[in-house]
A and B are shown apart, each in its own frame.
Chain A
Amino acid sequence: MAAIFQGVGAAAALSSLPSNSFDSKNILFSPRRSFSVRKAPSFVVVRSDGTMNLDLNPKGRRAQQFIANAVATKEDSSAASSSSKPGHELLLFEALREGLEEEMERDPRVCVMGEDVGHYGGSYKVTKGLATKFGDLRVLDTPIAENSFTGMGIGAAMTGLRPVVEGMNMGFLLLAFNQISNNCGMLHYTSGGQFTIPIVIRGPGGVGRQLGAEHSQRLESYFQSVPGIQMVACSTPYNAKGLMKAALRSENPVILFEHVLLYNLKERIPDEDYICNLEEAEMVRPGEHVTILTYSRMRYHVMQAAKTLVNKGYDPEVVDIRSLKPFDLYTIGNSVKKTHRVLIVEECMRTGGIGASLTAAITENFHDYLDAPIICLSSQDVPTPYAGRLEEWTVVQPAQIVTVVEQLCQ
C-alpha cells in the first residue's frame, strides 16, 4: 500500500476533474465544467516498505528517435494549456465546427454533405452557420439516402474534392456500409493506387441518454476490419478540433467517431492552428500500477474511477487510445512495459469490439510484459434498452472499473 502525498498542483488538477456525482446527465446540464485533464499532477509516492519515489511529471514522452509526423503535432506537454496565448473556451461541438470551418476556409475543395447539415445547422449543431457562409453546394443538405450520398461523397473524393459525410447518427451509416466497406476502403487498392479517397465520415454514436437501441450503436466494431480506412474517436474539445483538422488534411479515408453525450464538454483550447496526430494515443494520466486503455465517453468514466482509485491508493495510468484503427502500439506498449497490467474500458459490445482487437494486439506484442491477464470491460452484448437503469447497466460504470482495478492490482 502506498500513501500518496499530493502536491498543490496535483490538488488543483484533480479538483478540476469530474466530481463524484459525475454522470452523463451532468454533462448535458452543466456545460460550464472544464476538463483540463492534460495537466499531470506531480506527487510523491510512499511505498509500504518505507522507500519514497519522487515522481515529477512522469510523462510517457515519446522517444526522440520517433520520426517527425507528417502533420504538425502538438506536444503533449504541460505547456499546452498554459501556452503563450491564453486560448479560448468552447464546447466540443463548437470545437468541431471551428476545425471544420478553418479547413473549409483553407481549402475550397472541402465540402460537407449530410442530412440537415445545411439550413438546419446539423442535428448537433456542428455545422451551424456554415451553409450561410459557404453556400448550399458546399454544405449540402442531402435527401435521406445514406448509401447513395456516402457513395456520392466517395465519387466526389475520387474526382478531386475533399468531402465530409455526416451521418446524423452513426447508426444510420449502417445503411452506407456497402459504400464504406466496398468503395471507401478498397478503391485506392483495387485501382492500383490511381484514385485516392480523402473523405471524412463523421457522426455521433455511442450510448446516449435513453435514446433506444437503434440510436445507441457503436459502429467502430463493425468498421474496424474494413481495410484501407482509419478510425479515430475524439473525446475532448481539444482533440476533437485537432482530429477533425488532421482527418480533413489526410489523404486516407478517415472515420471520426464522436459521442452524443460529449458534445457539450467545455474546454479551453489554443487559438493557434494545431492538429492532433491521427495515429497517436493520448496520455491522460500517467501512473504506475495499471494501464487503463479507453476512448471516447468511457474516458470520463475511467477518470472518475481514477479519482476513487487514487483516494484508495492506487495509481492508474490512463491512456485515451484515440486512434481505433490503427492502434498506437508505441504509447500503449510503453505503458504496458511500465505497469505490467492492462485494463481496457470501452463502450463497444463485448463480442468483436475494439477491446477484443486491442486485447489480441497487446497479447501478441507485449505478452512477456504482462503480469496478469488483460481484462476488458465492455458493454453488455444486448441491444441498448430504453429504461434508464437498464441502460446504465449495459455500459461500464466507474464502480465496476474500481472493482476490477482492485482485483488486478492484488
Chain B
Amino acid sequence: MSLSHHHLNTNILPTLSATIPTPFPLVFSAPIVSFLSFIFYSPLSLPSSPPIFSPFPSSLPTRKKMATAFSPSKFAAQPFPLNTTSQNNPLTIPTTASPFLGSTRKLIRLSSSSNLNIRRRSGTVVAVSDVVKENKSKSTLNLLITKEEGLELYEDMVLGRAFEDMCAQMYYRGKMFGFVHLYNGQEAISTGFIKLLKQQDSVVSTYRDHVHALSKGVSARAVMSELFGKTTGCCRGQGGSMHMFSREHNVLGGFAFIGEGIPVATGAAFTSKYKREVLKEADCDHVTLAFFGDGTCNNGQFFECLNMAALWKLPIVFVVENNLWAIGMSHLRATSDPQIYKKGPAFGMPGVHVNGMDVLKVREVAKEAIGRARRGEGPTLVECETYRFRGHSLADPDELRDPAEKAHYAARDPITALKKYLIENSLASEADLKAIDKKIDEVVEEAVEFADESPVPPRSQLLENVFADPKGFGIGPDGQYRCEDPKFTEGTAQV
C-alpha cells in the first residue's frame, strides 16, 4: 500500500470540491458531488456526454495488487476507477484502537511500506489536513448528523456486529446449523440505508440478511430464535438464516438464490405505484430497497429488473453491496466491466458509487436515492464499495483472499470510523459509546437466552402454513377436506 498513488488521486479532489465549503472531507467527496449533479442527468442525453463520475485514470494500488495476484495480467493494466477519496478520508487511517491491526501489523511491516507506519503514528487530525488540502470548520452546523442520529447509527451498527459475532459463537457451539452468512464489515450499508426508512417501506435482501432485518426493526430475539430454529423465531423456525421475513416491519426476505429477491422487490415497488395510481391512495410513497452483492450483478434477473424499474419509474433503490467476492470468485474475474454503477445509466437511471465503509457517506447517498424514489422520479442504482471481514459463510475457510486486502479493509472498519467521528466532533463521549456497547451486549445475550429457552416446533407445525388456504391440501378419499381431519394437524394423518 504505497502512499504515492493516494497523493496522485488527491489532485482531483480539490478541483471538484474546492468551491464547496468542506468542514470534513468525507462530506463532499467526489461521488457525492457527482451524484448530486447527476440527478439532473437526463437519460435522453446518454450517448452524448459521459457522466461526471467517470473513472479516474489512476488505479488504486491495493486493487491493482489484487488484480495481479488473482487475475490475468491484463487486469492489472485496467484502470480501476473506484472512488479514491476514501483513501484520503481520515476515517480510513488506521488507528491503534482497531482490533484488527493487532493481527495484521506484522503483515504490514513485511510489505515494507514505511509510509504507512508514519501515517499511523501521526494520528488523526494532522494527517487529514496533509492529505486533503481544504479548510474545514468544526462548526456543528455543518455536521452531517445530530447527536441522536449519530448514536442511533452507532447503536445499530454495533448491534449488527455484536449479533453476527454471537451467531458465529453459537454456530460453533452447535446451536445453529446449515449455511450462516455473516455481515461483519458491511454494517455501514445496512445502517446507512435502512435507518432512513419508514415502517411501511420494504427491504428485500439476500442470504446475508440478519443485519438487514435487525436494522429494519425486527427484534434480536426473534432473529436469534429463528436461527436456532425455534418456534418463536420471526418465521416460526421455518425459514432459517437465509429467510428472514417480517410482515410487521416489511422485511420481504431473505432469499437463498442470488438475484431471486430483486424481482420481488420490484413487485413491492410496483404495488406502491399501483396503490398510488390505481387505488388512489395519494399518500402512498412507500419505497423498496433491494440489497444484493457484486455476484448478483452478472445475473439476468438484475438486468431485467433494472429495465422494468426504470421503465415504469418504480420507487425502488437497488443497493449493490460490492464486497469484491462471490464466495471465492473475485469480482474482477467474473465481470467484464467491474464498475457496477455504470450499469445504471445504461437503463436510464442514475448509477452512484459510494464508499460503503463510511456510514455517513452512505447515508447521504441513501437520502438522495430514497428521496428520488419517494418523489416518484424512479429508481437508482447505488454501488457501495465494502468488504466482509469474515468468510462467505461460517463454513468458508476464506483462504483465497489476500491478507493484505483484508487488512486494508479491516483498517476501515465502519464502526471504528463512526466512533472516531462522533468523538472528534464532540457528538458523543467515550462513555456514551461504551454504554451503548454494553447495552447491545446485554440485548444480544438476552436474545440468546430467549432463543435457548424457546420451544422447538411441534410436529403439528410441519403442515401448517404450506397453504394460506389449507383446503389446498385437497379432498381426501373420505370426501372431507384433508385439513379438516383432526389428525391432520397432529401430523399423523396421511397426506
Query: Chain A interface (Cβ within 8 Å of chain B)?
Result: 62-63, 65-67, 69-70, 108-109, 111, 135, 137-138, 142-143, 145, 147-161, 178-179, 182-183, 187-198, 227-228, 230, 250-252, 278-280, 323, 325-331, 333, 365-366
- Measured CA separation A363–B42 after assembly (Å): 66
Interchain CB contact under 8 A, A148 and B479: no
Residue of chain A at shortest CB distance from B272 = A159
Are B271 and A151 in contact, CB atoms less than 8 angstroms apart?
A: no
B329 contacts the other chain (CB 8 A): no
- B residues less than 8 Å from A63 (CB atoms): 479
Tell whether B441 is near chain A: CB-to-CB under 8 Å. Answer: no
Chain A contact surface mostly: loop
Judged by a CB distance under 8 angstroms, whether B136 is at the interface is no
Q: Which residues of B contact A156 (CB under 8 A)?
A: 267-268, 270-271, 274
Is residue B13 within 8 Å, beta carbon to beta carbon, of the partner chain? no
Contacts of B234 in A (CB 8 A): 192
What residues of A have a CB within 8 angstroms of the CB of B307 in the complex? 143, 145
Residues of A within 8 A of B233 (CB): 192
Interfacial residues of chain B within 229-248, with CB under 8 A of chain A in the complex? 233-240, 243, 245-247
Let me know if A159 and B271 touch, CB within 8 A: yes
B300 contacts across to A, CB distance below 8 A: 145, 147-148
Docked CA distance A198–B469 (Å): 10
Which residue in B271, B301, B466 is a CB contact (below 8 Å) of A228? B466
B477 at interface (Cβ–Cβ under 8 A)? yes
Across-interface contacts of B56 in A (CB, < 8 A): none
CB-CB nearest in chain A for B235:
A192
Question: Which of A67, A142, A155, A328 gathers the greatest number of chain B CB atoms within 10 Å?
Answer: A155
**B480 and A137 form a contact (CB under 8 A):** no
Q: CB distance A152 to B308 under 8 Å? A: yes
Neighbouring B residues of A183 by C-beta, 8 Å: 255, 260, 264
- Beta-carbon nearest neighbor of A187 in chain B: B253
CA distance A228 to B464 in the complex (A): 11
Count, chain B residues at interface, CB 8 A = 64
**Least CB distance, B178 to chain A, in whole angstroms:** 13
Q: A67-B484, A158-B267 are in contact. Are A330 and B479 (CB under 8 A)?
A: yes
The answer to whether A151 touches B266, judged by C-beta atoms less than 8 angstroms apart, is yes
Q: Which of chain B's residues has its CB closest to A193's CB?
A: B465
Instruction: List, in ascending order, chain B residues with CB within 8 A of A195's CB.
Output: 245, 247, 252
Contact B247 A194 (CB under 8 A): yes
Q: What are 30 sample pairs from A and B whose C-beta atoms fall under 8 A apart?
A: A62-B479, A65-B479, A67-B480, A67-B484, A70-B471, A108-B278, A108-B279, A109-B279, A137-B278, A138-B278, A148-B300, A150-B263, A152-B305, A155-B266, A156-B271, A183-B255, A190-B240, A190-B253, A191-B238, A192-B236, A194-B245, A194-B246, A228-B466, A228-B472, A250-B469, A252-B467, A252-B468, A279-B472, A330-B477, A331-B475
A193 near B236 with CB under 8 A, answer: yes
B254 interface residue per 8 A CB criterion: yes
Closest-CB distance, A334 to chain B (whole angstroms): 8
Checking B252, B253, B260, B268 against A178 with a beta-carbon cut-off of 8 angstroms, the contacting residue is: B260
With a CB–CB cut-off of 8 A, which chain A residues contact B238?
189-192
Residue numbers in B under 8 Å from A109 (CB-CB) = 279
Give min CB distance, A145 to chain B, whole Å: 4
